[in-house]
Chains A and B, each alone.
Chain A
Amino acid sequence: MSTSNSGGFILGVDTTFSSYGNRPVRTSEWQSIANNLNHLADERSRVLVCWSPRSTTTGGYTIKVSGAWTRLMSFGPFPLLVGADGTPYPVRLAVGGRSTASSQLRIGVCVLGAADADMSATTAPANVLESAAFNNATNLWRVDGGVTVDPVFQDYGIVNALSGATPSTVAAVLVTVEVWGKSATGSACVATQAYAAEQVAL
């Protein structure tokens, strides 16, 4: 949901600081500035993962064991944007692949250290999407949707000046985007594509 009143940038806002000096500034000008700042932050969201197949029937990564959820891919870790309520921006997700026997795929956004438990849980938790079972030899998107991540903050080391100077830390929600697969038949499930992007919360 947009936090700006108009749901987009209002044109005509002067961004020269001195333009606001020595004259009365109308309320509508400051409304527009507030609106544009809120919209700038709404659309500050970023694409975290964009992995697409290079073929309709080949490529990707295959499960190595049968009958259990196993990791096929891991992207990151990376820090998420944190919203006004202290929770990270939700993440829209999609995952796809092919199979030679009935298979399922999961994609999840997991805070560091939680991937194994979250991705192999019997029932997918709120930060994980699970596809319906599929048996199809074409690389296709299998499930998409949005998830939220618990606000688990960690100290994240940064620098605050050029050439590595002024080391510091920030409180960040660090996550990996995980792709896991499962099939009763070994080597049947192949992940070939994944997508993740931040999205301002409704």
Chain B
Amino acid sequence: MTATVPAARPVVQQADVVSGQAVRARTWLDAGELANWCSGNGEYLVPAYSPEQTMAANKTFVFRFRVTPPGRAVRRVWQLYLEGNCAITLDGNVGPSADYITDSGGTWVRYVEDLTAKSATLQEISLSIANATSSGSLIVKSICCYEDPRIVLDKDATDLGVELTSLAVREPIQENQYTSLGGIAAALAAEQRRQYFNVARPDDIAECWATTSGTFGIMLDEVPILTRKLYPASTTGNVRFAALCKASDATTDGEIRVTNNATANTVTLTVNNPGTSWGWYTIDFASDILCEDLTEGTGWPDGALLTSVAKTLDIDFRVSGGAGTFYVATIAAIEY
């Protein structure tokens, strides 16, 4: 009796569901398997990026990310690509730290966090990289974090797994929880949310983004983005931006401006008096950023990223008040 997650996604044959004809059990079995497949594959919480960060020996960097997981994962995996003849220690938010040896030819490092509770709440996750005293310089070339897939879902309100044996031939149609057609319908409520990017620099004022200028300067240039297509007529989606900010004193303010190059529209995140402690600030960009076009092989509307209308964002920042320095350690974008 299991809510198994198949390795490959099925497709529900909608043409099999027509008036006046019995629907085959096979059709609903596909639907149950597909519901489990959608829920059982994890999200990429930190799409891979390069912090372009070089660490001296005896240095520790902490990268902080803002996520809202779907809430069904039991393991998070960090994948890094590092260069340098170094002895390092990685530590996350859950479980023990781990030591690794890296070399100058490039080393892939995998660090796992076995979660102690499933969580779908807005939260901060972080990765600490410590370079040992005796090590050389370490180049942090890439970081990503994703949720491992599941092979069996729980039949509960968190996982919403569908018991597949209840969809076998000759089984009665039921509306019970986590079984049969009632379970399939309920599984549609399972949260899905796409993380578009999550770019962190160390939460160290010597390493993060910093400006004393009142003129906008680049944080990230030409960031590709396509939102999830939700409804048949959708051409855009909603994106929430979150930034980890602080200032050098109690009276300096800052602004982060996001420009959608496809429309030339902007939103500006105003950070008034963030003070000298890191804090998260958010702003929503509603119904403006292009969504995927499923009639295109690449998903890009018009077929390509590199067309006359760029499907990218520019993100810049400035000091908007006071005389100090405005710092940003992380900028993240997620569907809402």
- Interface of A with B (CB < 8 Å)? 1-9, 11, 13-22, 25, 27, 30-31, 33-38, 40-56, 59-61, 71, 73-79, 81-86, 90, 92, 94, 96, 139-141, 143-146, 153, 156, 158-164, 168-172, 176-177, 193, 195-197, 199-200, 202
B42-50, B127-135, B243-251, B276-284: which one contacts chain A?
Answer: B42-50
From B55-63, B252-260, B266-274, B295-303, the one touching the partner chain is B295-303
B148 touches A158 (CB 8 A): yes
Instruction: Indicate if B308 sits at the interface (CB-CB under 8 A).
Output: no
A38 and B81: CB pair below 8 A?
A: no
Check if B175 sits within 8 Å of A18, measured CB to CB: yes
Contacting pair A33 B31 (CB below 8 A): yes
Q: Which 10 A-B pairs have the closest CB atoms?
A: A17-B182, A21-B175, A8-B232, A164-B114, A75-B48, A15-B189, A50-B197, A144-B305, A146-B298, A8-B231
Interface string of B164-204 (1 = CB under 8 A from A): 00000000000111100111111111001011110100000
- Tell me if B18 is interfacial: C-beta within 8 Å of chain A: yes
Cβ of B7: which chain A residues have Cβ within 8 Å of it? 82, 153, 170-172
Whether B299 and A75, one on each chain, are in contact in the complex, defined by CB atoms closer than 8 angstroms, is: no
Across-interface contacts of A9 in B (CB, < 8 A): 230-231
How distant is the Cα of A15 from the Cα of B192 in the complex, in angstroms?
15
Taken together as a complex, chains A and B put the C-alpha atoms of A99 and B19 apart, in Å, by 62
The 8 Å CB contact of B298, one of A40, A56, A76, A144, is A144
Q: A41-B37, A163-B116 are in contact. Are A51 and B48 (CB under 8 A)?
A: yes
- Picked from A42, A50, A55, A146, the residue with its CB within 8 Å of the CB of B49 is A50
Q: Give a binary string over B13-47; 1 marks a CB under 8 Å from any A CB, 0 the rest.
A: 11001110001000100010011011001011001
Question: Whole-angstrom distance from the CB of A111 to the nearest CB of chain B?
Answer: 14
Inter-chain contacts of A52 with B (CB < 8 A): 49, 197, 199, 220-224
Interchain CB contact under 8 A, B188 and A13: yes
Asked if residues A199 and B114 are in contact (CB atoms below 8 Å), the reply is: no
Whether A37 touches B149, Cβ cut-off 8 Å, given contacts A50-B223, A54-B52, A61-B141, is: no
